[in-house]
Structure 1
Amino acid sequence: MTTERQDNILIPTTKGLQLEKTNNIQNICAEGSYCELMLISGAKHMISKNLSSLTKLLPSHTFFRIHTSVVINIAHIKEVIGTEVVMSNDCRFPIAQRRKKEFVDFLKRNSLSL
């Protein structure tokens, strides 16, 4: 895949298809066999794909599955408090206990540290 192709995602809507930059995705929450994409604009899109198949489409250096039902874009993290992630829109998501260490390591590898 080329970098350009990975930077965009086609989102099916009631009007057709919406081309969106992957960096504009803040988080994805699973809801059964559907997923809800939350964009930084505040727009939400319900997608008829499961979380595993959507995760495979996204850049692995930016998105992390912090919980069974939640994938976040680390570019939009405001802070990490204990076992919770606070996103730039103040949404809070729990970090699964068994994923906490892997998540912190992922952040260290993909972020600048002081």
Structure 2
Amino acid sequence: MNILIVEDESRIAKRIERMTRDIFGNALKSLKHINTLQEALRYIENNALDIVLLDLNLNGDNGFDMLTTVVSESFHTIVISANKNQAITAFEYGVLDFVPKPFNRDRLQQAFNRAIKKEKTENNKIKLLAIKKRGRILLIPIEDVLYIKGAGVYTELFLANGKKELHDKSLEKLEQLLSHTFDRIHKSYLVKISEVKGIIIKPGSKYMAELKNATLIPIGRTKYKDIKAKWL
């Protein structure tokens, strides 16, 4: 695991670092602590990461200025903050977890477990997907996304307006964040439940989900029974 801690209070950063080393042990490949937003953004741009632990108040800078950038990346973001009233907004942006200060080792490990074991989030508050496009960060409302297709380590977002956008997160990571709104109906597809019109059975026991816009998306054979029970 490659982990970055973005925290301006040295005492808290050392505590997070100590707990993180204790939790991961030999599985920890790299652990970096940075205390400013700009330096953290430069580090993220030049290093492969699995998890970023982000405080939302950094020497007077607003962590939300960084949040739209980090949630567009391939890694998961876990917010560690005393500002509990900002938790809902953080989840809306697509963080994996929000750990309120003060916290203990068990709560931090719970957050890590969601990333390690690929547990689905318990919140259904995510409203935006941030994507990188032409050097800018664009926020795509979840309500505009019809389905998502895996494209290697990336994903393709298919939107209601007919456009397609590329996201740096894998299908597995987006499934964790979007499990309350989207179903994994195939190894390569996440589909918004509310957009499904019905199921079509084709010759050779091939199953397709028909969306309201007439798009057909394959349903994996192992997933057909669960999908049928949920939708029909």
Stretches of structure 2 that go unaligned for 5 or more consecutive residues are: 1-86, 93-125, 202-206
> TM-score, with normalisation over the residues of structure 2?
0.42
**Aligned positions of 1:6-85 closer than 5 A:** 6-58=126-178, 60-82=179-201, 83-85=207-209
- Report % sequence identity: 29
Per-residue CA deviations over 1:44-81 (Å, capped at 9, x if unaligned) read 111222110111121x2320011000110011112211
Between Structure 1 and Structure 2, the one with more helix by share is: 2
Between Structure 1 and Structure 2, the one with more strand by share is: 1
RMSD: 1.9
Task: Write out the 4+ residue segments of structure 1 that deviate beyond 6 Å after TM superposition.
Answer: none
Q: Which has the higher contact order (CA 8 A, sep 6+)?
A: 1
Task: State how far apart, in whole Å, the 2-side matches of 1:33 and 1:67 are.
Answer: 16
Stretches of structure 1 that go unaligned for 5 or more consecutive residues are: 109-114
> TM-score, with normalisation over the residues of structure 1?
0.81
Q: Is the 8 A contact 1:23 1:75 kept in 2?
A: no
